Amino acid sequence: MSRNLPVNAGRIAEDIAALAEITEPERPWTRRAFSPLFLKGRAYIEARMKAAGLETRIDPAGNLIGRRTGRKPWLGTIMVGSHSDTVPDGGRFDGIAGVISALEVARALSDQAIELDHDLEIVDFLAEEVSIFGVSCVGSRGMTGQLPEAWLSRASDGRGLAESIAELGGRPDVLMQQNRPDIAGFFELHIEQGPVLEAEKEDIGIVTAISGITRLEITIEGRADHAGTTPMDRRADALVAAAQLVLDIRNAAAELAKTPGHFAATVGEFRIEPNAANVVPSKVVLLIDGRAEIRADMEAFCRWLDGHVGKLAGAYGVTINTPNRVSDNLPTPGDAGLLATLEAACTRVGAKHRRMASGAGHDTAWIAKVAPAAMIFVPCREGRSHCPDEWAENDDIALGAAVLFEAVREMDKNSHEETPNGTHTG
């Protein structure tokens, strides 16, 4: 279906293709934060920002920002963006599609000589993916005063995070004092990283919430014995109990996933001791990654797990510790007003849309803690992401960019007006 969009799909395709070329030759598509290739990609984006008439800068957290001044800057800043770094051997669209779509919004406004009342900022957030320092969302946390100060002391291969931010043009010396009370609203476009939109033939996903992520570590201790001589009914096999637990976790998560709201739980890390073919396993440590759109679902899962491990320990003659919550982040809902704005924008450009949750984390989650924020998804082939096969059709990305364009204009038009001294006139 052809559409007369307010954005230039060809420019979007050109920029995404150009960034895809900036990768480790044998590892498409790899452009990790803080690497020379990341800096090369940043230089390309900055040049394109300047060509679009944006004033560029690196903020103290190392974020690349292109700014377009509005007629009434006291109204605050409308911010649009995502991230340009990748995971190793990751996708060519994850994050990048959002940065380029945001840039295209600014270009389309200029093409049509549209002046906004608000200032507009296009942002490439630093290190949304897990970086060489073992932490993620460095830029969005840092911009909003949510970066743990201890992170600045983290090091990798003799380099410190603070030093690396400074090398990018950031200011780690003032980073901990950062906040952005001027953000009137934030939008992010991202590929879905799942199969729902493609399967249901929907154009846009309106993200109702970014799921909270809870990680739980469980240690199962049995007894090491000779694998050939110990009778099967006299073993305390930690691995057998762990295998049953993994299946039980999968089944419990599948039941919770049938209820309203996104829920998933995965055993993604698994360590076994002594890890020898001729020894009955004596110890297993596993890590559960749980994702919940509705906090009550995660609490219900944790209560079930606390009770279940005791029953399992008795059944298999092993010891299982009470699950340890290694980390625990709450779900982040999208701003209701901005979600409505995005839905109205979809209608204006003729985009079929549905509401859905995000099972993955995004920079939006951190901006949303200090300002109204919302995001949209565009389809990706077979839901593949964080892999070389990741693919999104350019027409789908352009349609998403058109939704952002309309949403920015609508937000700018409808925001409650204030005078420079802070009093309201609307």
Model confidence over 43-93: pLDDT tens digits?
Answer: 999 999 999 999 999 999 999 999 999 999 999 999 999 999 999 999 899
**345-373 confidence digits (pLDDT tens):** 999 999 999 999 999 999 999 999 999 99
Closest CA to 223 of 238, 239, 242: 238
Mean pLDDT of 197-219: 97
Question: By C-alpha distance, which of 300, 276, 282, 288 is closest to 241?
Answer: 282
- Interatomic CA distance for residues 234 and 252, integer angstroms: 29
Residue bearing the bigger pLDDT, 415 or 149 = 149
Domains and CATH numbers, the chain: 9-210+331-414 (3.40.630.10), 213-328 (3.30.70.360)
Question: Residue positions in the annotated binding site for Zn(2+)?
Answer: 83, 94, 129, 190, 386
pLDDT bin (cut points 50, 70, 90) of residue 324 is very high
Stretch 398-412: mean pLDDT: 98
How confident is the model over 256-275, as a mean pLDDT? 96
What pLDDT score does 416 carry?
A: 54
Q: Which residues are annotated as a binding site?
A: 83, 94, 129, 190, 215, 278, 291, 386
Instruction: Check: CB of residue 323 under 8 Å from CB of residue 288.
Output: yes
> Measured between alpha carbons, how far is 219 from 154 in angstroms, rounded to an integer?
27
What integer pLDDT is reported at residue 349 of this predicted model? 97
User: Looking at the predicted structure, is the pLDDT value of residue 415 above 80?
Assistant: no
CA distance 287 to 144: 30
Give buried/exposed letters for 279-308 (b at 16+ CB in 10 A, else e): ebbbbbbbbbbbbbbbeebbebbbeebeeb
Residue 274, preceding bond cis, omega within 30 degrees?
yes
Q: Summarize the confidence of residues 308-324 as an average pLDDT.
A: 97
Q: Give the residue numbers of the binding site for allantoate.
A: 215, 278, 291
Give the pLDDT score at 200.
Answer: 98
Per DSSP, what are the bridge partners of residue 204?
Answer: 353
